[in-house]
Structure 1
Amino acid sequence: MGTASSQLDPEVTEKVSRDVNDLISKHRVVIFAKNICPYCHMAKNVFIEMNEAYHWVDLSKRPDGREMQYFLADLTGQSTVPRVFVNGKCIGGGQETQELYKKGILQNLLNQS
């Protein structure tokens, strides 16, 4: 039994990998999310409060959203959403993002670009 993404067509996995890595490299903040998820909105609201631009990727509206979530699970070790990336590194989900903000750590991470 392999990882979730290893169960997918290799061509699909390769495309999803390229797409995810491209998004992470092009945007300072990327939130891979689902619109119905309260933790996803929790993460988004942190960046709104900080007046920090972010790129929202709604996996529930993408035709490859399921595959992208599998790839993110392999990449980050967590299968849940949101998966929040700052300057190319995953900082966790909604609660972790909120905690990092409250402790002042998130601001430092954003300044490391």
Structure 2
Amino acid sequence: MSGPVAVKVKNIIDSDTVVIFSKSYCPYCKMAKEVFDKLCQKYTAVELNELDDGDSMQAVLGELTGAKTVPRVFVKGECLGGGTDVKQLYESGQLVAKLQ
């Protein structure tokens, strides 16, 4: 997987400890962001529905992670999954461990 969109996605993932590929109207995306807000953890949110190449980026994320849905949440370059996955990791205490 190469090409300019794939490179862009990989660069964004590497740009911050927490990166959330999101859509501004998605309730699961909001759920994921709220978890990090509760932890006072800074994150980069990429609102795919507001970008010209958002659909292409979402297709790249599908290839990278095996899931085409949003959010796609990355912590230190590792995809943790979506909103429900992040919430479960938070509730179990595993998310804080991954952030340290």
**TM-score, normalised with respect to structure 2:** 0.97
Partner of 2:47: 58
- What are the Cα deviations for residues 67-93 of structure 1, in whole angstroms up to 9, with x where unaligned? 000000010000100000000000000
- The offset of 1:102, in angstroms, is 0.4
Matches of 1:26 and 1:36 in 2, distance apart?
A: 24
- The offset of 1:26, in angstroms, is 1.2
Q: Is the radius of gyration larger for structure 1 or structure 2?
A: 1
Partner of 2:24: 35
Partner of 2:85: 96
Secondary structure of residue in 2 paired with 1:85: strand
**TM-score, normalised with respect to structure 1:** 0.86
Matches of 1:98 and 1:29 in 2, distance apart?
A: 14
Matches of 1:33 and 1:106 in 2, distance apart?
A: 19
Partner of 2:98: 109
Runs (5+) with no aligned partner, structure 1: 1-5, 7-12
| Number of aligned residue pairs | 100
> What is the alpha-carbon root mean square deviation over aligned residues?
1.1
- Partner AA of 2:36 in structure 1: F
1:19 maps to 2:19: no
Matches of 1:70 and 1:15 in 2, distance apart?
A: 13
Secondary structure of residue in 2 paired with 1:51: coil
Percent identity reads 45
- The offset of 1:30, in angstroms, is 0.3
Runs (5+) with no aligned partner, structure 2: none
